[in-house]
Every structure is written in structure tokens, then in C-alpha cells.
Amino acid sequence: MSSPAPESTPVVVRASDVSKRFVIRKDKSLKERVVNFGRSNKHKDDFWALRDVSLEISAGSTVGLVGANGSGKSTLLKVIGGIIQPDTGIVQRRGRLAALLELGAGFHPDLTGRENVFLNGAILGLSRKQTEQYFDSIVEFSEIGDFIDTQVKFYSSGMYVRLAFAIAVHVDPDLLLVDEVLAVGDEPFQEKCMAKIREFQKEGRTIVFVSHSSAQIEDLCDRVVVLSHGEAIFDGGTVDGLEALRESFGR
Ligand SMILES: Nc1ncnc2c1ncn2[C@@H]1O[C@H](COP(=O)(O)OP(=O)(O)OP(=O)(O)O)[C@@H](O)[C@H]1O
Ligand SMILES: [Mg+2]
């Protein structure tokens, strides 16, 4: 009996011609404000943070998203995660998503760490019972101890990231989006996060990883996408990608 032909690897994320526009308000001088009183549309500019970005990410891959400051990495990650909507194009995504985006994103400042764990669990699709089941393990991974009952507005940057990362890796995600945030964790915690990400890779989960650390990208990623002024200017192997990144600076 012949074995069935292997299915091609499923696509977890498909972004097609995605563009994102922001309206930038320019500061006006006092004189301009007086002269143009009530007619201020001149001072709005369109700014394309992403332009026609297309990419497919297959299950089990780890994609490094790199580029200069302001090149559109966080914007693309948010569009992939469905946190913001693109102005053109579409994003298709399958499976459970966990996103580690900007500091404090997804946390309610007035709630305690404990309350935020339950809030996030609910947002990420866990029942209260499931979150209860993971709760001790989340707190243990985060190492924030008794601060779990402190309002998160009093957390340090590192404490935020510790709790957010601990939650993200406990909700059994198929797709994990990680923005630069890990960098605010201290070295032992960063190492722990990297180890967890490696474990996720072995389990066949899909990861999109934004970092300014070429060493981390080289270490973790099997593919690199380089953004420059909102455009994907390179998509391919890690070594060539990091070279393309260096060339993109100053463009
Ligand atoms: N909500 C917003 N309103 C207006 N402009 C925005 C908004 N969010 C992002 N931008 C602009 O879009 C561009 C891309 O920003 P983005 O945060 O995606 O860059 P990045 O590649 O993540 O940069 P960094 O390496 O500094 O984190 C920047 O010029 C930024 O000012
Ligand atoms: Mg960013």
C-alpha cells in the first residue's frame, strides 16, 4: 500500500498587498494658526507606513522581521495580528494567535497582574477554568512573585514584559508574534525567553520575531524579511537578509 502523498505545509499567515496609511498632523506656528484659523487641512499629510507588502508564512517557520527604525515592522506585526486594519490589501490568518507587541499593550493599567492574566486569557480565547489551570505556571515563569497583586501601572518595563511573555507562551498559540519588547528584560530573562522560543520551534509553532539584534535573528530565524520605508525589500535566507538589512540603512 502506498503512503499518502505528503501535504504541502499549511500557510498560517497570508498578507496580500497590504498597505497602511497614517495621517500626520504637522505642528503649526502660532502665526499660521491665527491666519488659517478654522482652515487647517493643509497641515495633514498622508504617510504610508506600509506599501504593498505581500508575504506568506508557513506553519512551523520562524521569520525575522528586520529594518531601520520607523521602517514599518511594528505596524506590519499589528496588521498581521489583526490589531490594526490595513487600508488596502488583506491578511488571512489561521490558528490561535498570541502577540507580544508594545509595552503594556493588552494590559489594563488599573487592574492587577492577576486580573490582567484573566483578562488576557479571555481575550486570547481561554475559559476561566483554563486560565486558572495555567495561572501558577504563568506567575512562576514571570518570576514577578507577590507583585502579581499590584496594579500593572506600577510595574517596571521588565515586569510588564515578563508577565506578557509568560501569558503569551501559556495560551498554546499556533502563531506567536514578538516585537522588540524582549529587549527590556534582563539577561537571564531574555535567555529564558529565547529558550522558550526554541521549544516552540521544536513543537512546530510559527513565530514572527522583530529584533534589532542580528545575533538573535541569526540564532533563531530560518527566514528574514527586510522592511525599508514600509516596503519589503528582501525576503529570503537569514545571512543574505542581514546583509540586505545593512545595505538598507541610510536608504
Ligand atoms: N498610530 C500612528 N500614527 C501615525 N504614525 C504612525 C503610527 N504608528 C506608526 N506610525 C509611523 O509609521 C512608521 C512605522 O512605524 P513602526 O512603529 O512600524 O516602525 P518600526 O519599524 O517598528 O520602528 P522601530 O524599529 O523604531 O520600532 C513610523 O514613521 C511611525 O512614525
Ligand atoms: Mg517597532
Tell me: the pLDDT tens digits for 188-233? 999 999 999 999 999 999 999 999 999 999 999 999 999 999 999 9
How many domains, in total, are found in the chain?
1
Does residue 64 form part of some domain?
yes
Domain contains 2: no
83: domain CATH number is: 3.40.50.300
CB of 70 within 6 A of ligand 1: the answer is yes
Atom of ligand 1 nearest to the CA of 24: 4
Residue 124 belongs to some domain of the structure: yes
- Measure 75 CA to ligand 2 centroid, in angstroms: 7
Ligand 1 centroid–CA 72 distance in Å is 6
Q: Cβ atoms within 10 A of the Cβ of 21, count?
A: 15
The C-alpha atoms of residue 124 and residue 127 are separated, in whole angstroms, by 9
Hey, how many other C-beta atoms are within 10 angstroms of the C-beta on 184? 16
3 within a domain of the structure (yes/no)? no
* Ligand closest to CA 70: 1
Is the residue at 123 inside a domain?
A: yes
For atom 3 of ligand 1, the residue with the nearest CA is 22
Whole-angstrom Cα distance, residue 13 to residue 217?
A: 20
Q: Domain for residue 4, yes or no?
A: no
Closest of 73, 24, 69, 25 to residue 50, by C-alpha: 73
Q: Using one digit for the tens of pLDDT, what is the confidence trace for 62-84? A: 999 999 999 999 999 999 999 89
Q: Residue 241 contacts by C-beta under 8 Å, 6 or more apart in sequence?
A: 64, 66, 217, 223, 224, 225, 226, 234, 235
Amino acid identity, position 49 = A
User: Would you place residue 40 in the very low, low, confident or very high pLDDT band (cuts 50, 70, 90)?
Assistant: low
Q: What is the mean pLDDT of the chain?
A: 90
In a domain, 94, yes or no: yes
Domain ranges, residue 51: 11-248
- Residue 1 in any domain: the answer is no
Q: What mean pLDDT comes out for the span 33-56?
A: 79
144-187 pLDDT, tens per residue? Answer: 999 999 999 999 999 999 999 999 999 889 999 999 888 888 99
